[in-house]
Amino acid sequence: MDLLQGTLDVLILKTLSWDAMHGYAISRWIRQHTDNVLTVEDAALYQALHRLERKGLIESEWGLSENNRRAKYYQLTQAGRAQLRAETSEWRQYAEAVFKVLETA
């Protein structure tokens, strides 16, 4: 299933809400937690990461990966956390409204 427009950003924010991660780990995490239903193209993921960093929602730092290699870790900023909360509730309202329509019909 392809991602709906604008979904990728909120997925990334959610992923990073647990811990700081590098890009590869984020990609793996999304794949695992959506049971491979949502496919995120890596190119799109990295573009989104840098875009979010530019917006100040996430920030990055170089660190060491599990296999002792230099990797770029991303983490949420205060602004990112707030954005995630706002978008989560928006998504919930949106989904509930859509379901309501679909199930009453």
Partner 1 sequence: MRRIRGIRPAFRLPWFSASRVRREVDDELRFHLDMKTQELIDAGASPTDALSRARAEFGDLEYTRRYLNQTDRARMHHERRSELGDELQNDVRFAFRQLRRNPGFTAIALVTLALGIGANTAIFSVVRGVLLAELPYADPDRLVRVYSKIERGMTSVSPADFNDWRRQSTRLSALAASSEGTVNLTGTGTAERFGQARVSANMFQLLGVRVALGRAFAPGEDAPDAPRVVILSDGLWRSRFGGDPAIIGKSIRLDDFPTEVIGVAPPEMRYPSPVDLWLTTRFSAKDLSDSNRGSRWIDVIGRLAPGATPEQAQSEMNAIARRLELQDPKHNAGYSTRLLRLRDDMVGGVRPALIILLAAVGFVMLIACANVASLMLGRTAARESELAVRTALGAGRGRLVRQLLTESCCLALAGGVLGLALALAATRLLLSLAPSDIPRLYNVRMDATVLLFTIGTTALAALFFGAAPALQASGTDTVLHLRTGDRGSRTRPGSARARSVLVVTEITLALMLLVGAGLLIKSFERLRDVNPGFTAARVSTFTVTLSPVKYETLEQQRAFSTRLLDAVHRIPGVDSAAVTFGLPLSGTSFQLSYTVEGRPAPPPNAEPRAQVRIVSPGYFATVGIPLVRGRVFGEADRAGSPRTMVVSEETVRRYFPGEDPIGKHIDFGWNRDGDHLAGEIVGVVGDVRQHGLSEAVTPHVYAAWDQWPIDEITVVMRSRGDPAVAVAAARATVLSLDRDLPVYDAFTLETMVDRALGQPRFYVLLLSIFAALAVVLAVVGIYGVIASTVQQRTREIGIRIALGASRERVVAMVVRRGLILALAGIALGSAGAYAVSRVLQSLLFGVGARDPFTFVAVAALLGGVALLASWLPARRAARVDPLAAMRAEG
Is residue 84 a contact partner of residue 14, using CB atoms and an 8 Å limit?
Answer: yes
Of positions 2, 35, 61, 103, contacts partner 1 by CB under 8 A: 61
Region from 3-11, 19-27, 85-93, 96-104 binding partner 1, contact rule CB under 8 A: 19-27
The yes or no reply on residue 46 touching partner 1 (CB under 8 A) is yes
Q: For residue 53, what are the contacts with CB-CB under 8 A and spacing of at least 6?
A: 59, 60, 74
Of positions 75, 81, 87, 88, contacts partner 1 by CB under 8 A: 75
- For 62, other C-beta atoms within 10 Å of its C-beta total 9
Q: Which is nearer to partner 1, 31 or 88 (CB)?
A: 31
The yes or no reply on residue 73 touching partner 1 (CB under 8 A) is yes
Structure tokens at 79: 């602004």
Q: What is the DSSP letter of 41?
A: -
Q: Which is nearer to partner 1, 18 or 101 (CB)?
A: 18
Q: Amino acid identity of 63?
A: G
Of positions 33, 41, 89, 95, contacts partner 1 by CB under 8 A: 41
